[in-house]
Structure 1
């Protein structure tokens, strides 16, 4: 159990994935000043369930990912930073804001790879790439169908979860996966549903 400064967002951060942020709210500028004053420079990111990113008062999901600051720039009026998704966590208690959100969290176990899952991982990758290609015919996609994945099988599985063309609520299902087999099955099931909706 540990206490983490928290940054609720309208998007999901996955382990092994980068995320670019623009920070201009005073409470989060204060949070980052505190975070950057210690090593490692980390905070938690959770998806907003209801409400808006700006101004506070939002309702948040209880599972998220530790974000480690890897790049930082300070253009006039805001901070621009890149973070890397690290470990998953579950919020056990929301603390009084100080002035930014703060929570007690419990780290979730890392998922373990088993070579018997290789075929399912290949199936998941083929399906995600095919669906990204299909989706690109209708709307601009953040990720290209031929985006390169890590050679590490655990990292690659999380990257597949992140690039799968599904919505934030489905991404939370992926982030909550208890085992690597569950993660791959969830990627396949949710991506198949996304592909079916595109085919209509």
Structure 2
């Protein structure tokens, strides 16, 4: 497969894994990122979101990051005092860094776009049905816990869109989400998501429905 090359993609290292279709809200206050965002707005170009490794702070352009991220297209800008701004963006396309560059105030890179291979077969379709059922169960549990209210009828039917939605919805640490973003094909991604959702549904059920006290007081008598 031939991948489209993007030159000089501005990068925003974050402790967040961005997926295609995922909304992203940022408050921009550092000078380097004010410069970067103003250039993206002027040129109407996307920027790339990439996960910072080991939860380290983004204190320099040479911060260690993952090599696979997602482009973000700015959709709304709220200018603030002193050049600060609030921006809203949406995740668009996965990419793989081929070369980091450090001669600007902010980090940027040459990247290859990295589309998810939609290798759909009968097993994939079967797993998609299982995943959708697990997502519905997960959403109902979160609603019961008062953490989320979602109309189940709005779940996407397109397999790739559903896989990305499931990845965004999953409430796990970014370091555990990153492998989902890096997955090469849809079938493998769905299999990984099923493992995550089975585990998370089981854990949430235990947390929200703890076993009743059976009166057992241990091996020691009160007498």
Q: What band does the TM-score fall into relative to the shorter chain? A: 0.7 to 0.9
Q: What residue in structure 2 maps to residue 17 of structure 1?
A: 22
Quote the offset at 1:97 in angstroms.
Answer: 4.7
Is 1:124 aligned with 2:128?
no
Is 1:140 aligned with 2:147?
yes
Give the SS at the match of 2:53.
strand
Q: How far apart in 2 are the matches of 1:58 and 1:138?
A: 37
Conserved? CA contact 1:166–1:191, under 8 Å: no
Q: What residue in structure 2 maps to residue 43 of structure 1?
A: 47
Give the SS at the match of 1:15.
coil
Q: How does 1:147-162 map to 2 (within 5 A)?
A: 148-162=154-168
Quote the offset at 1:23 in angstroms.
Answer: 1.1
Q: How far apart in 1 are the matches of 2:189 and 2:104?
A: 35
Larger relative strand fraction: 1
Quote the offset at 1:160 in angstroms.
Answer: 1.4
Q: CA RMSD in A?
A: 2.4
Normalized against structure 1, the TM-score is what? 0.85
Conserved? CA contact 2:98–2:110, under 8 Å: yes
Is there any run of 5+ residues in structure 1 with no aligned partner, and where?
Answer: none
Q: How does 1:66-77 map to 2 (within 5 A)?
A: 66-77=71-82
Q: How does 1:1-200 map to 2 (within 5 A)?
A: 1=5, 2-39=7-44, 41-50=45-54, 51-53=56-58, 55-56=59-60, 58-77=63-82, 78-112=84-118, 114=120, 116=122, 117-135=124-142, 140=147, 144=150, 146=152, 148-198=154-204, 199=206
Conserved? CA contact 1:130–1:145, under 8 Å: no
Quote the offset at 1:79 in angstroms.
Answer: 1.1
Is there any run of 5+ residues in structure 2 with no aligned partner, and where?
Answer: 208-223
